[in-house]
Structures are given as C-alpha cells and as structure tokens.
Amino acid sequence: MAPRDTLTRRADEVTDPTDYIGVEQGKTRRIDRMNKEESPASSRRGWAAFNEAAAKKAEEGFPERFTLGDENEAVLMVFLEDQPLQVWEEHWIQEAPGKRKSFACLPSVNEDAEGCPFCDELDDKPSLLAAFNVAVLDEGTWKLKVLVGRTRVVKAVQAHANGRTTSPINKDGLYFEAYKTGTGTESTPHFNRMVESLGEVSESEVIPPETMTELKSKLWAQYAFAPKADDVRKVVDAVLRS
C-alpha cells in the first residue's frame, strides 16, 4: 500500500486552493500538476511524462471513503479520533441534464475565499458534511478510511460522542457495527456499540495494537479541498446559460 502520510502532510501545506479540485462525486481528486497550463508543453510529451505522473499519483494516494452499506453488509469499525477531521459545506450542482457534480462551498474550505459563486450567483444551498478518520474491518483486514456523512450520519456519531458509555468515541476497546437501513435521503444510519471487554468483538476481529498505531500515524488531515476557480467559473456560467 502507498504511504498515506505523504498526502496528509501535503494537505497541511496547501496554500494555493487552486491546486486542488474539491469533492467530485464523493471522491477527493487531486489535480495533476502535470496538467496545469504553466507546465512547459515539452514536459507533457511522451511515455516518460505519463510514467512520472502515474508514479506520483500512486505514491500520494487519496483517502478511501467509507460508505455505510445495508444491514446485511454491516461492518465493524473504530473511530480513530474523537471528533471530525473536517467539517465543510458542499454544493451538488446539475451542470447539464444527467451531469451532477459536487463542489465544496468555497468559504467552508478556505477562510480567505471571498464569497462563493454557487451561493451568490446560483442561489444554491450547500449541505453540511463532516469527515472522520476511521478504521474499518474490510475482508479480514483493518484499513484506514474516511467516513463522510451529512447531517443525519454526523448526528448519529455525535450522539455516541456525547453518550455516557461511548464517550470518547475513540476510546480503547470500543467498536461500532455500522450500516444503514432504508434508501437514499430516507436512509437511517446505525452505529451499534460493540465492547471488546464484554466479548462483543471476536478475537479474530480485534484490531491488533500495532495496526492501531500504524493507522493512527497515517490519519488524514483534510478531505475536501477548494475547487479550482476556473472550474467553478465554467460550471456556474454553464448553469446560468441553461
């Protein structure tokens, strides 16, 4: 697996929001710097350029989003921190029929942003989102993922974060069985408390201490980034024209 601390560190160092495009269809995607206009054209030519860009992408990696599955796909998970790694707002814009994209609301990911064209020009109301660093038992292996949720999911997590037996949510030996019931906007998230010391987690499922240490050393510092100004302009203009 590619070392994840590379991007985590990079995320801390981002000063130019135009380096990144925001959450697109649920994924954070890095803008490939090789594609930017200021790169000399010659560096973009040939297989060497492709290989170099591909190697860079593989090395940096990106957060793997954890999405709640149905009840029969319930998974065991652990919160690695007692609070969200990021809270932001997101626009879900229909650029053209059948073409919807999500964009982070600019001031929510960049405090220096002066307004947001989606709010100001399209009068679109963004949704509130939060992301959490979690460990998920995925086919027998504990993996670092990012749980991204809207209000309903975040409130369910918050209830545990404030709960007498579940606070802090990242305490040792506390696991959750996570799934959702219902579909779409009507679905209900479930995080059922599972306590190792009560024998509710089988020995084979317990997260090994060295795995826990490793995953905690790779926590993501940021999930959503400001979309590139040019992309925002293009989408806003397309919607205004339609």
* Position among 7, 76, 77, 116 found at the interface with Zn ion (CB under 5 A): 116
Q: Which is nearer to Zn ion, 119 or 221 (CB)?
A: 119
Q: Which is nearer to Zn ion, 49 or 119 (CB)?
A: 119
**Please, which of residues 122-181 interact with Zn ion by CB under 5 A?**
126
- Burial zone of 199 (CB within 10 Å; 0-12 exposed, 13-18 middle, 19+ buried): exposed
Of the listed pieces 13-21, 119-127, 146-154, 160-168, which binds Zn ion according to CB under 5 A? 119-127
Query: Which amino acid, residue 49?
Result: A
The reply to whether 119 sits near Zn ion by the rule CB under 5 A is yes
CB neighbours of 105 closer than 8 A, spacing ≥ 6?
A: 88, 89, 90, 91, 116, 118, 119, 126
* Position among 23, 80, 105, 148 found at the interface with Zn ion (CB under 5 A): 105
Q: Is the peptide bond before 227 cis (omega within 30 degrees of 0)?
A: no
Least Å from the CB of residue 126 to Zn ion: 5
- Burial zone of 80 (CB within 10 Å; 0-12 exposed, 13-18 middle, 19+ buried): buried
Least Å from the CB of residue 133 to Zn ion: 25
Interaction site with Zn ion (CB under 5 A):
105, 116, 118-119, 126
